[in-house]
């Protein structure tokens, strides 16, 4: 079973619904929504290679005439480099799925 990394939008929804989550998030998501610390998820910190991949994602998206927030391209890079699946409520992550064949996203 592939492990999941939860984006801020999904963390907020789960918190409001008093759900439990297992898996990962990033320090960036915790900075956006500090209450998510209560989920006790494993927290990933972006590495240098994540930043390089994020730049590549942004560059490839620009070639298609599309952009997403810089933080989201970095979160996508963390997901890719750690071979995880992103769980989010944000449809713009489908743009990354089109340009990065190994990117897995579940928009709920």
Q: Is residue 8 part of a domain?
A: yes
Question: What domain count does the chain have?
Answer: 1
Render pLDDT for 68-107 as a digit per residue (tens, 0 to 9).
999 999 999 999 999 999 999 999 999 999 999 999 999 9
Q: Is residue 16 part of a domain?
A: yes
Q: Is residue 108 part of a domain?
A: no
Q: For residue 65, is it left (φ>0), alpha (ψ between -120 and 50) or beta?
A: left
Q: Is residue 107 part of a domain?
A: no
Q: Residue 81 class from Cβ within 10 Å (0-12 exposed, 13-18 middle, 19+ buried)?
A: middle
Q: Is residue 14 part of a domain?
A: yes
Q: Is residue 15 part of a domain?
A: yes
Mean pLDDT of the chain: 97
| CATH number, domain containing residue 38 | 3.40.50.1010
Alpha helices (H) in 3-68, listed in sequence order: 8-16, 27-32, 48-63
| Cα–Cα dist 104/106, whole Å | 7
Give the DSSP letter of residue 23: S
Is residue 27 a contact partner of residue 106, using CB atoms and an 8 Å limit? no
Domain around 72: 4-102
pLDDT at 2 over 90: no
| Cα–Cα dist 49/5, whole Å | 18
pLDDT at 1 over 90: no
């Amino acid at each position: 079973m592939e492990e999941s990394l939860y984006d801020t939008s999904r963390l907020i929804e789960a918190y409001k619904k008093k759900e439990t989550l297992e898996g990962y998030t990033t320090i960036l998501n915790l900075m956006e929504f500090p209450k998510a610390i209560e989920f006790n998820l494993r927290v990933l910190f972006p590495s240098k290679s994540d930043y390089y991949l994020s730049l590549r994602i942004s560059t490839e998206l620009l070639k298609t005439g599309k952009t997403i927030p810089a933080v989201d391209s970095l979160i996508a890079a963390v997901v890719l480099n750690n071979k995880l699946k992103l769980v989010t409520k944000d449809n713009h992550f489908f743009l990354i799925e089109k340009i990065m064949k190994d990117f897995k996203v579940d928009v709920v």
